[in-house]
Chains A and B, each alone.
Chain A
Amino acid sequence: MAKVELFVNGRAVKGEAEDRALLVHFLRENLGLTGTHVGCDTSQCGACVVHVDGRAVKSCTMLLAQASGSSVTTIEGLSQNGELHPLQVAFRENHALQCGFCTPGMIMSSADMIRRHPEGLDEATVRLELEGNICRCTGYHNIVKAVLDASDKLRKAPSEAA
């Protein structure tokens, strides 16, 4: 059994799981954080993306044991003090979600993308950077719009990016 200690959404958690347990299993089954989804078994769909020490990681591709000692943020921990993250607002305002299943991973990937591109984003870059996230509902049209919208707003008001 793997024994781990980590921070999840700012809270210290300890846990124990099978050695083969993946981070996504621990988040969903042990912590009840079911916003992180499993949509494939080959690390392609990106429904399981979380942040580990500030970077986007596919939580289906990381053993729980590897995450010990890290700080993990899931979709449930993205909004702060009851305020939605600008990406969450932008996804709603641009109708960038339909069934909602890919949405948590899309938002977590996009947050990482915006962080890595302080110079701003254009459509081609957003489309390329979303390679690791599959959506079957939206045709990506409104997701791309939402990411660009949030990126612009965060550049104008960088304090909200915290």
Chain B
Amino acid sequence: MGVEGIGARVLRKEDKRFMTGKGRYTDDMVVPGMKHAVFVRSPHAHARIAGINVEEAKKMPGVIGVLTGSELKADGIGNLICGWMIHSKDGSPMNMGAWSPLATDTVRYVGDAVVLVIADTKGEARDAAEAVDISYDELPVVVNAVEALKHGAPQIHPEASNNMIFDWDLGDEMATNDAFAKAVHVTKLDIVNNRLIPNAIEPRATLGVYDAAEDHYTCWTTSQNPHVARLVMSAFYNVAPENKLRVIAPDVGGGFGSKIFIYPEEVVCLWASKKTGVPVKWVGDRTESFLADAHGRDHVTHAEIAFDQNNKILGLKVQTIANFGAYMSLFSSSVPTYLYATLLSGQYDIPAIHANVKAVYTNTAPVDAYRGAGRPEATFVLERIMETAARELNVSPAELRRKNFVRTFPHQTPVIMNYDTGDFDATLDAAMQAADYAGFEQRRQQAAKRGKLRGIGMSCYIEACGIAPSAAVGSLGAGVGLWESAEVRVNAVGTIEILTGSHSHGQGHETTFAQLVTERFGVPIESVSIVHGDTDKVQMGMGTYGSRSGAVGMSAVVKALDKVEAKAKKIAAHLLEADEADIEINNGDVRVVGTDKSLPWFQVALAAYTAHNLPSGMEPGLKEGAFYDPANFTFPGGCHICEVEVDPETGVTEIVQFVAADDFGKIINPMIVEGQVHGGLAQGIGQALLEGTHYDASGQLLTASYMDYAMPRAFDLPSFRILTTETPCLSNPLGIKGCGEAGAIGSPPAVINALTDAIGSNELSMPATPQVVWNAIQAIK
């Protein structure tokens, strides 16, 4: 490991612009003639649009245009799609209702976009939006997914009778029933995974620019995957063909999944730019983020787990109702299916698993991937039921887990996944030691003397990152491939540009991707630049989500570097009159092994471009591209331990320590990995203790601001103890597993297991606010 290579704590190259106010986010973009857009959104959760009158609005000062869905439809702009096909257990395809970017006849949630107003200033656009007169005939509303499935519930889409999108099964139901028939003990648990609102601090924004002379569109947007945005807007929404559409995702202020999807706003603003002849910028305000960003989670689950007389798991049954909201967002259908039920085996050897998932429309904001996406939900079910079982069986939670750990690899689960490698004892041991688990009882007694209830809880999670290979995900219904691309351009002076389809919105790719090049060629990290986020610069890519940038994006860079290295060695061998096999590249020098014959790296690069003396038949230049399609998922795993103290008089919970021991495989930059874990833990602890999304019965979102939705603040959280162990992933060249989501996946059950341990009741819903905790304490008094 060099000081700037793989494994080094290199400080971030991108930091300077962010800490001096020179970051360039979508809202910072200004183009000549730019105008400002405001969306008029539905105030009703479910209504027929009886009429839209825009005449008064059009007369307001500064107004450029007031546009409706019928005009959008007349211009041939398509409905929004869900890009992952799921078939119900009876073989029928999922029942997808229509989602028009601007509603034309029916609105289905509060925040549904109906009219676009464009004016000289945002203030004028707001004023004119107030003057748009939409008359609605209100319809009955359902916000709860369990209620939505009941006979007589309001019907949201004609395509989905009983609001059922799909009724999907995974695993062998007969084998699981047989396993349960042999059980000595069965633990049952009803569990709700609360709906979350992602809340990247940069609200979504877009700037659509149509150039009539070139018949060309440019879309600046807050996206985690600009190439997918271009693909979807070209192929499905008929905005423009790909060669006439450039999508740029500049600095993006956090994503957490919510900026994967193609929303109505970017489609409508691009179309409106052509329609009105002006560049159109929309910047969401926070209320719009709450109302109309895709939400996360929202599962209601019944689970049962069967044990034999030795406390070995025989089988697991899970039934989940997943709330999809009012429309199927872009990847919504993959989340409670192949990203959820496939992880239900966790770290355990479970012979039989059966899962059933019912996907349901309601009159709420669409639900899609949010940090972890399916895996936190699976982990919450499994780690809560394991903890519950340990208490029922009167064995230690650690021992029950150990008894059932997978220890031989590869391990085929009954739910598709094939774990390549892992060491679950290692992370459990590391976490228990760091948390001084053995000393807990003493700490509990000390806390009791102070009148506090102290509890400890653990969670042993596994997750799957770098979702792949493309052929496999295609067979499961994915509409896209999940490879990644990279290009390595060595300039004539030896500096290097890496073009990647991965997108950084806080992950630090400008540093970590450059570390790969420094490791390989020994060139200083300053001489390496990372180019991403622009479809005109990078040909194609699948973007960043699902902790895939390291495992998949970096692997593509490695493949391209292999090609560059091979060509550079050929050139050097020719120039140094040596055998290609004897050339090594080290510390910025290209040398013949065991001799003093060498060339500086830049001279090899220069030789490639002057082309005065290249091996016979070799093309000039030193630039190579690669596409990398992984052979398998990667499987990060770990153990999180949370220790809490509860004040029984107030229900206030304090996290007194939190330890995370994670196995992410090979780590490129530990500083950045730790930062990813910190952020994930904050989101997971936020889910467990603070963040609750509340719709009232009429479908109004009661938690639509930071006054009402409890974002974790600095004083809500402890400092964390982060440890890592390493079993390198076997399916990619770097051995990386991925680290972006683990914190949000492992932590919620650890917190709730600690809290239920503290108060002595297993009945505790998330978020476990002081009121929830206090009520739970009162209920068992």
Contact = CB atoms under 8 A, between A and B. Distances in A.
Contacts of A139: 678-683, 712, 717, 720, 743
B20 A136 contact: no
Nearest to A21: B123
Contact of B11 (A79, A93, A124, A131): A93
Q: Most chain-A CB neighbours within 10 Å: which of B201, B251, B671?
A: B201
A16 to B, nearest CB: 13
B253 A101 contact: yes
A76 interface: yes
A25 B589 CA distance: 52
Interface in B6-47: 11-12, 14-25, 27-28, 30
Nearest to B705: A42
Interface in A130-160: 130-131, 133-144
Nearest to B719: A141
A37 B25 contact: yes
Interface string A110-130: 000000000000011011101
B27 A134 contact: no
Interface stretch (B186-194, B411-419, B500-508): B500-508
Interface string B282-297: 0101110000000000
A64 interface: no
A59 interface: no
B711 to A, nearest CB: 5
Give the interface size bracket for B toward A: 35 or more
Contact of A98 (B28, B254, B681): B254
Interface string B711-751: 11111010110000000000000000000000100000000
B506 A98 contact: yes
Interface string A26-62: 0010001111111111101101000000000000000
Nearest to A140: B714
B714 A38 contact: no
Interface in B180-199: 199
B18 A100 contact: yes
Contact of A128 (B24, B200, B712, B715): B715
A133 B712 CA distance: 10
B679 A98 contact: yes
Contacts of A2: none
A13 interface: no
Interface in A74-123: 74-76, 78-79, 84, 88, 91-93, 95, 97-104, 107, 123
Q: Most chain-B CB neighbours within 10 Å: which of A44, A124, A130?
A: A44
A137 B506 contact: yes
A39 B201 contact: yes
Nearest to A76: B21
B707 interface: yes
Interface residues of A, number: 57
B633 interface: no
A98 B27 CA distance: 18
A101 B707 CA distance: 20
A20 interface: yes
Contact of B21 (A75, A130, A140): A75
Contact of A144 (B23, B27, B253, B714): B714
Contacts of A93: 11
Given A95-B672, A136-B683, A40 B705 contact: yes
A92 B15 contact: yes
A46 to B, nearest CB: 9
A62 B22 CA distance: 23
Given A44-B707, A140-B717, A95 B254 contact: no
A136 to B, nearest CB: 5
A41 B714 CA distance: 20
Q: Most chain-B CB neighbours within 10 Å: which of A40, A104, A130, A143?
A: A40
Contact of A36 (B21, B683, B707): B21
A144 to B, nearest CB: 6
Contacts of A38: 27, 203, 283
A92 B508 CA distance: 12
Contacts of A130: 713-715
B440 interface: no
Contact of B714 (A36, A75, A98, A143): A143
Contacts of B713: 130-131, 134, 140
Contacts of A45: 201, 286, 706
B252 interface: yes
B121 A18 contact: yes
Given A100-B506, A131-B713, A42 B678 contact: no
Contact of A37 (B14, B202, B714): B202
A45 B199 CA distance: 11
A99 B505 contact: yes
Given A44-B706, A76-B21, A134-B711, A34 B28 contact: yes
Nearest to B251: A100
A36 to B, nearest CB: 7
A38 B253 CA distance: 11
Given A131-B714, A137-B679, A139-B720, A40 B286 contact: yes
A99 B19 contact: no
B123 A18 contact: yes
Given A18-B121, A34-B21, A99-B252, A136 B200 contact: yes
16 contacts: A34-B27, A41-B287, A45-B286, A45-B706, A76-B20, A88-B20, A97-B18, A98-B254, A99-B200, A100-B18, A104-B21, A128-B715, A131-B713, A131-B714, A136-B679, A144-B714
Given A39-B253, A100-B14, A137-B679, 19 more contacts: A34-B24, A37-B253, A39-B286, A41-B287, A41-B705, A42-B705, A45-B286, A45-B706, A84-B19, A91-B15, A92-B16, A99-B201, A101-B200, A130-B715, A133-B714, A138-B679, A140-B712, A141-B678, A141-B719
Closest 3 pairs (CB-CB, A-B) = A35-B21, A100-B18, A101-B253
